[in-house]
Structure 1
Amino acid sequence: MTPRLHPREEERLRELRRYNILDTERERDFDDLVEIASQICEVPVSVVNFIDEGRQWFKAEVGLGVRSTPIETSLCGHVILEGDFVEIPDTLKDERMADNPLCTEEPGFRFYAGAVLRTEKGLPLGTLCVLDHKPRTLTPHQRRVLEVLSKHVMRELELRLALAQEQTLRREVDHRVKNSLASIGALLSMKAQRATDEAVQTALEDASIRIRSLSSLHAELHDLAQGERVELRSLFERIERDLRQLLPDGIRLVIEVGNDRVSPSLANALLLIVNEFVSNSVKHGLQDRSGSIAIAIRAGDDGWSIACSDDGSATSADAERAALAKGLGTRVIQSLASSFGVAPDWSANGSGMHLRIDAAA
């Protein structure tokens, strides 16, 4: 007998697809559950299955050897229309299964017991079930084990769904924040171009550089999977493009960086150091709006380093002031270096400012 459709079949199928479990690879988490069910219930076959449209699909199985069967021969297709737990001591004495070839042909399934996998909405997705080739019954302890294991399956599915929803929400928020930062940076840049007061123009350009660079970092982090490390070359290619748009036409910027991957916290620190050095160079060392700024970044198993220099007019006295962290930008760099247990090294001789930070692993 072919199983009847659930009274809320369309809604049930939508709910099943919401979990994104169909046609996924086998996983140890589920394989362990069917192995435990098979051993505790002392049966040769145990499965975690989901009733899809036109088929019964197995996420995990012991003793079956297939991943799906047609809905016409599905025992569980009948079971999901009933209560939370169904036991059939002899399938050939059950009118729903007495003509099922899975039961009538040798070696047929003569015993069935299944705990329904039910969502919080009360909709059945499938079962965790055990089967035997001979009629029998389960003990109360064995029934209880099946019920507990079925709840564990649903908890695993609900947890995965919640994590997927959280990641989707986080990415949506990240996307909006990234766009907002980019918009604010562009707006500040436009305001700077229209400002008539030089001090106001410099302040707006400085803020624009900071925000646009943070937007670039946010964009890079947005593309990362959870726990993944930041690729420095990709990040600083974005940073270099943004900074070049904001710097005066006469200032040349070159950032050299390898394919190293670092933690988001180190990537953020390196970005801020570059921001502050470039900003200080434009404001103080390259006041005639011409010259060059060079950045070299290296990161590896033995640690990381960053070297920044410009060919402006900084003197040894300027380097001493930078080392004392008198200005906002140099205080930021000092704080960032200190957070990694190192100190920035400033130097100048009238032909430009130089900054180097070395950190051992």
Structure 2
Amino acid sequence: MPTGFANPSLASCRPVALHLAEEISHRVIDEYTEAIAILSSAASPGNVAAEPALRRAVDRLQAMAEAHRCLLVPIAEEFIDLGHHVGKLCSSLSRASLVERGIRLTVATDEIVLDAARCWRVGLIISELVRNAARHGLKDQQGSIHVTLSKGVSSVSCVVRDDGCAGSGLPAGAGRRLIRALTAELGGTLEWRSTPRGSVAGVCFPLVATSLAHSGIG
């Protein structure tokens, strides 16, 4: 993960990045361990399906790498299309782990241009919400997850829905702390509710950047 920043505004990413490092590292290890297991199976003597399995492993490794690349702290100050950023991230997440489980991930978005530091935060939030939807909402069973990004007059809304079993609320643990801390740094609000058709998580934050709160992970 990059350790240098182009200017003071991007340096504000660092407090969260430090807390994220361990969590992301554990995920990288778990995901690559899974891919290695696929390769090990393909290498078994007499396995006629070796070539397709090896190709499958390569594709998943590439998708995992792309997803983690999207979650790196930005090192240049620029304005980018949030929808494009999130779309690329969700495509990588889908190919890395969701498609094989029969989980369909779709994204619908308005044209929303934000600075790289806030796009990074939104990407991390959505990554966590998608993982939670797959694990806790769908319980790793077949189903669908839909991400919606919409721009209002003065705010941006990010909603992640699943059509699984309605949960009792935001799951406890590191994921919850990350989502809440990142939402606070965006100056936004978080809503999590259950419906008869699944769970809905929404984050709303100002369209125009305000001073980022340095709340840390609590």
Specify the TM-score bucket, using the shorter chain as the normaliser.
0.5 to 0.7
DSSP 3-state at the match of 1:354: strand
- CA positional deviation for 1:340: 2.3
Q: Which 5+ residue runs of structure 2 have no aligned equivalent? A: 1-5, 7-24, 42-61, 209-218
Higher relative contact order (CA 8 A, sep 6+): 2
CA RMSD of aligned residues (A): 3.4
1:354 aligns to what? 200
Change (3 A) 1:209 1:289: farther
- CA positional deviation for 1:237: 2.8
Is 1:260 the counterpart of 2:105? The answer is: no
TM-score (norm 1): 0.38
> Which residues in structure 2 correspond to 1:161-310 (within 5 Å)?
187-191=32-36, 193=38, 212-218=66-72, 227-246=77-96, 247-249=98-100, 250-299=102-151, 302-310=154-162
Contact 1:291 1:312 in 2 (8 A): yes
Distance in 1 (alpha carbons) for counterparts of 2:37 and 2:133 = 18
DSSP 3-state at the match of 1:326: coil
- CA positional deviation for 1:217: 4.8
- CA positional deviation for 1:228: 2.2
Amino acid at match of 2:106: V
Contact 1:309 1:354 in 2 (8 A): yes
Distance in 2 (alpha carbons) for counterparts of 1:304 and 1:210 = 28
TM-score (norm 2): 0.61
Distance in 2 (alpha carbons) for counterparts of 1:313 and 1:195 = 34
- CA positional deviation for 1:248: 4.0
1:334 aligns to what? 180
DSSP 3-state at the match of 2:189: coil
DSSP 3-state at the match of 2:188: coil
> Larger Rg: 1 or 2?
1
Contact 1:304 1:358 in 2 (8 A): yes
Amino acid at match of 1:254: T
Change (3 A) 1:341 1:218: closer
1:56 aligns to what? none
- CA positional deviation for 1:188: 4.7
- CA positional deviation for 1:355: 0.8
Q: Which stretches of structure 1, 4 residues or more, deviate above 2 A after TM superposition?
A: 184-189, 191-196, 208-214, 216-219, 298-301, 340-343
- CA positional deviation for 1:255: 1.1
| Count of equivalent residues | 159
DSSP 3-state at the match of 2:197: coil
